[in-house]
Amino acid sequence: MADLTFISSGEVADEEALDAYSRAVIGVAERLAPSVANLRVSRRVRGGRVVSGGGSGVIVTPDGFMLTSAHVVAGSDGARASFVDGREVDVKVVGTDPLSDLAVLRADGVDLAPAELGDAEGLRVGQLVVAIGNPNGFAHSVTAGVVSALGRSLPVRSRAAGRIVENVIQTDAALNPGNSGGALADGRGRVIGINTAVAGIGLGLAVPINATTRKIIGALMSEGRFRRSYLGIAGGSRPLPPRLARELERAECVEVVDVVEGSPAARAGLRPEDLILDLNGQSVEGVDDLQRLMAGELIGERVRLTTVRDGAVRQLELVPVELDV
């Protein structure tokens, strides 16, 4: 048998052994690990028993403001957060918004390491993302993958209302129970989503960090809640009929599917099958546009809806009320 000769140039330097992908993931993990907390949440249930749960949170200010998922802290009467440096601190709930599945907490600590918030609007399918959280109780776990789809919808509910979170990020980075509330970051270590749900084997969803969710986060920090206007309709995005599309030089609108009896929409005369084109002159081409425009500032204010019924463009006026969550 012929002798085998192994050729080696000696020890391989770390930077040579790691490819670009590995270096990117390591860089994100090292940058974000101090900002991601392991949350232990307790809830008191019937009979006085205390049930514990877990999740993740992301520090976003040096004085301890933290983002997580609303469902992680729903019904909680206390929480503790632990960090990679060994610190363990008490956490209180500042505000929750079940209809975006976001919550803001305040950690009892100083000199905490805040993560940088990015903007999910610039994401592209196939882009590298890194998830950091505490799946199944395994603290500070890191997984990586890509953005596998954009523009997904996530149904959420509060006790009194339901809503669709639009433009949710879908990723194949492994997510498991306990990842909820943790960070989904881009290749530069900026948090572009808060992990919220496992959609199936190999699929995870994250609420995006964008202009809309930044408004929600700011309101939760300052007021403890996010106020929304309420029209009283169920609607869906749909293409405009071809003639109207040509005349209006646009393709999409929102069709009214149902109108809640006694609601502002019902009092204004809105009917199922009406098509909504704009609100106060701002274009409505999808359900997410309408949800974005229904801000708290419109509560009690007279607003104008441009609609289409039986092929004719009409104007309606109505006064939104506050959505009860």
pLDDT at res. 4? 61
Report the alpha-carbon angle 179-183-189, nearest 5: 145
Q: What is the pLDDT of residues 135-186, one digit of tens each?
A: 877 778 999 999 999 988 777 766 556 666 778 999 999 888 788 999 999 9
In this model, does residue 74 exceed pLDDT 70? yes
- Kindly state the percentage of the chain with pLDDT values over 70: 88
pLDDT by residue (tens digit) across 239-255? 999 998 998 889 999 99
Average pLDDT in the 51-74 region?
Answer: 91
pLDDT by residue (tens digit) across 111-144?
A: 899 999 999 999 999 999 999 998 877 778 999 9
What whole-number distance in Å separates Cα of residue 78 and Cα of residue 89? 11
pLDDT at residue number 170: 93
Catalytic residue from among 35, 69, 101, 141? 101
Cα Rg for the chain, rounded, in angstroms? Answer: 24
For 319, the enclosing helix (H) or strand (E) is none
Annotated catalytic residue, options 35, 56, 69, 71:
71
User: Residues 265, 266, 270, 274: what is their CA dihedral angle, to the nearest 10 degrees?
Assistant: 90
What is the pLDDT confidence band of residue 109, given thresholds at 50, 70 and 90? confident
Active-site residue, from 180, 274, 288, 289 = 180
- Dihedral through CA 63, CA 64, CA 70, CA 73, nearest 10? -140
Rounded to whole angstroms, the Cα distance separating 145 from 169 reads: 12
- Quote the percentage of the chain above a pLDDT of 90: 57
Q: What integer pLDDT is reported at residue 51 of this predicted model?
A: 62
SS3 content of the chain, % helix, strand, coil (to 5): 20, 45, 35
DSSP element (H, E) containing 258: strand 252-259
Assign 316 a pLDDT band (cuts: 50, 70, 90): very high
Q: What angle do CA 31, 34, 36 make, to 5 degrees?
A: 100
Q: What is the pLDDT of residue 182?
A: 94
- Mean pLDDT, rounded, for 62-66: 94
pLDDT value at position 19? Answer: 85
- The domains located in the chain, with CATH, are 15-226 (2.40.10.120), 229-322 (2.30.42.10)
- 205-240 pLDDT tens trace: 999 999 889 999 999 999 999 998 989 888 888 999
101 is catalytic: yes
